[in-house]
Amino acid sequence: MAWSKLKQHLESFLCPALYGRVEYRATGYRYLPDKAGLCYIAVDKKNVFNMSDITTLIRWYQTELEIKNDSDIQIPINNEEIEAVRKDTKGIVPEDRLKVIARSRKISEYAKELLSAQSSLSKSNFVVVANKFLSISIEESIESNDILLNILALVDRRVGKKRILNMTEKMKLKHPIVQYFYELRLSTL
């Protein structure tokens, strides 16, 4: 599908409050057919999301340690995870330390998922992912680990107010760019 047609399809799915604020843009190289153009998402005329560009407004993590040391990341833990740590340590660790260990394990797991999603995103092709988004259900896009699919689903008009409000806990575990678009969508409700 040609870029102009794809852009029309994607923009036809934008929620009415974001129409005109969120734009899909692409650059092309007329005389270099083997050179792929860049695709990015702009919000209020500012380039917010460019897949491989680290100069965008959203933080891209380079290492697992950066994620662990980021104070903005809040990872909720539940009793089942604390019980798993208690079982692993055979009950000899103090209660307050169990929470620290459980949170540390969960942050390590989260960091690995986040870095994996970032690396696959930088290698992916915007057009391919956008075509996939148009061919799968909105639920699959929301539940996916693909950052771009999450973003496209969040700005979609088929995702209603109730569903957006029910996603709060799930969004805490997503990449900062997905959280940004979630906050943008929340601001339109």
Structural domain count, the chain: 1
Q: If we measure between CA atoms, which residue out of 148, 147, 171, 103 comes closest to residue 10?
A: 148
Cβ neighbours for 164, distance < 8 A, ≥ 6 positions apart? 154, 182, 185, 186, 189
Helix (H/G/I), strand (E/B), else coil: 21: coil
Q: Is residue 80 part of a domain?
A: yes
Q: Is residue 188 part of a domain?
A: no
Give the per-residue pLDDT at 155: 92
Structural domain span for residue 89: 65-115
Radius of gyration of the chain (CA): 19
Give the per-residue pLDDT at 31: 56
DSSP at 44? T
Give the per-residue pLDDT at 61: 66
Q: Is residue 177 part of a domain?
A: no
pLDDT by position in tens, the chain (length 189) = 777 888 888 889 899 999 889 988 876 655 555 555 567 788 898 888 776 544 444 556 667 777 777 777 777 788 888 888 888 888 788 888 888 888 888 888 877 777 766 665 554 577 788 889 999 999 999 888 888 899 999 999 999 889 999 988 888 878 888 888 999 999 988
Q: Is residue 87 part of a domain?
A: yes
Strand-pairing partners, residue 122, are none
Q: Is residue 189 part of a domain?
A: no
How far apart are alpha carbons 184 and 171 in whole angstroms? 13
Cβ neighbours for 54, distance < 8 A, ≥ 6 positions apart? 60
Put simply, whether the predicted model's pTM sits higher than 0.75 gets the answer no
Give the per-residue pLDDT at 54: 47
Q: Is residue 94 part of a domain?
A: yes
Q: Is residue 170 part of a domain?
A: no
Q: Is residue 54 part of a domain?
A: no
